[in-house]
Amino acid sequence: MRDVAQSGIWILSLVWLTACLSPLDAPSAFSDQVYLCGAENAALEDAALAQCRDTDAQCEGVVSFRGTVDAQPVTVGSPITHSGITDVGRADGTTSREIFVFGLAPYFTFSFDLPGFEAPPGHTASGLFVPVEGVCSTMTNQTPCEHPVLNLEARGGTYLSIINGLVRDIQIETADDLQVYFTGELARGGNVEGCFHLLAPHP
């Protein structure tokens, strides 16, 4: 009896000692993403832009955002895979301008759509100049907004979701490259802050 009990206890002890359990670490792919906006991340953004300029792949700049979307924490840093500027002439002779940038998140592709800018008369769509005065902002209320200022459109797999956002603030830093900083609350809950840096086209 004693031998059996001792053997059993030894084996059980061995069983317990053979394993030192470590928790499984399988973070989401968002944890591999880098937020590129803000002065504190300027070096990261510069590096990403340098990589974008050097790559042979389609890259027109960088776009990044973070926040909470669909109740999940989200961080994205992506090259701008393509972009577009669309001008629509108004009856009063002014031009309404809309800017699109497209990027790639781990789980979805997305586009930011900033409509409602005003371009100066005679300005052509090939340029990236956007007057600061033309920004429609719900915060500053300088110009009434006919449309949501920012649309985040995301596609993943077979799904399409348009996440409308009301942008609180947009800062356009330069008129050479186009740099836009934004923060906003999303119509279906959540919020994002981010930026995109659209490189000027090569001459």
Partner 1 sequence: MNGSVRRLAVAAAVLGVWSGGVARGETPAAPAAPSVQVDGRDVSKLSQIEDATLEGLLGLSLEEQLGQTESVSRSRESVLRAPATITTIDATQIRLSGASTVPDVLRFVPGVTVVRNAPGNYVVSLRGTGGLASNNVILLVDGIPLNNPLDGTVSWDLVPLHVEDIERIEVVRGPVSPTYGADAYTGVINILTRTSIGLTPSYLVRLRGGASPQGGSAGSLSARFVHMGPKLELRTFLNAVHDDVAAAPANPAIPATAPAGDRLAAMTVLSLKVSRTSSVSLEIGGVWSRRSGMDHLVLDSQAQTQRLLFGRALYELTDLGGHAGNFRLWAQSINVEIRAPSTAETGFTYDGAGSLRGAVGTDLVFPLSGTLSLQLGGQGSIERIEAPFVNPNANRALRPAYGFYAGLKASPSRALDLVVTGRGDLVPIAAELEYSYRASAIYHRDSWGLRLTGASAFRTPSYVEATGRFIDPASQLILLEGSDHIKSPRNTSLELGATFSPSSRLTISPTVYVSRLSNLMVEDFESLVRRTFRNSTTPRTFLGGELEASWRIADTLTVLPSAGILQWLDGAGEGDANVGVPSQNARFTGGLRVQGVLGNDRWGYGVGATVASPRSYRVRSGIPPIVIASNIPTTAFVSGVLERQLVAAPSLWGSVRIIGSIPGNAVESPLPLATPMGQSAILGIEFRRD
Applying CB under 8 A, among 41, 96, 161, 164 the residue interacting with partner 1 is 161
Q: Smallest distance, Å, CB 157 to partner 1?
A: 5
Applying CB under 8 A, among 35, 65, 102, 108 the residue interacting with partner 1 is 108
Q: Smallest distance, Å, CB 179 to partner 1?
A: 25
Nearer to partner 1, 65 or 117 (CB): 65
How many whole angstroms separate alpha carbon 83 and alpha carbon 66? 20
Nearer to partner 1, 6 or 86 (CB): 6
Asked whether 193 and 171 are in contact (CB, 8 A), the reply is no
Q: Does residue 7 touch partner 1 according to CB under 8 A?
A: yes
| Contacts (CB under 8 A) with partner 1, residues 39-98 | 69-70, 72, 74
Q: Does residue 100 touch partner 1 according to CB under 8 A?
A: no
Contacts of 127 (CB under 8 A, 6+ apart): none
How many whole angstroms separate alpha carbon 144 and alpha carbon 140? 10
The region of 22-30, 85-93, 111-119, 166-174 touching partner 1 under the rule CB under 8 A is 22-30
How many whole angstroms separate alpha carbon 186 and alpha carbon 149? 11
**How many Cα atoms are found within 13 Å in the side-chain-facing hemisphere of 86?**
9
Give CA torsion, residues 131, 152, 194, 102, to 10 deg: -80
Q: Smallest distance, Å, CB 119 to partner 1?
A: 32
Nearer to partner 1, 87 or 153 (CB): 153
How many whole angstroms separate alpha carbon 80 and alpha carbon 198? 8
How many whole angstroms separate alpha carbon 64 and alpha carbon 47? 14
Q: Does residue 186 touch partner 1 according to CB under 8 A?
A: no
How many whole angstroms separate alpha carbon 201 and alpha carbon 203? 6
Q: Does residue 157 touch partner 1 according to CB under 8 A?
A: yes
Applying CB under 8 A, among 25, 40, 54, 56 the residue interacting with partner 1 is 25
Q: Does residue 8 touch partner 1 according to CB under 8 A?
A: yes
Asked whether 101 and 72 are in contact (CB, 8 A), the reply is no
Nearer to partner 1, 32 or 133 (CB): 32
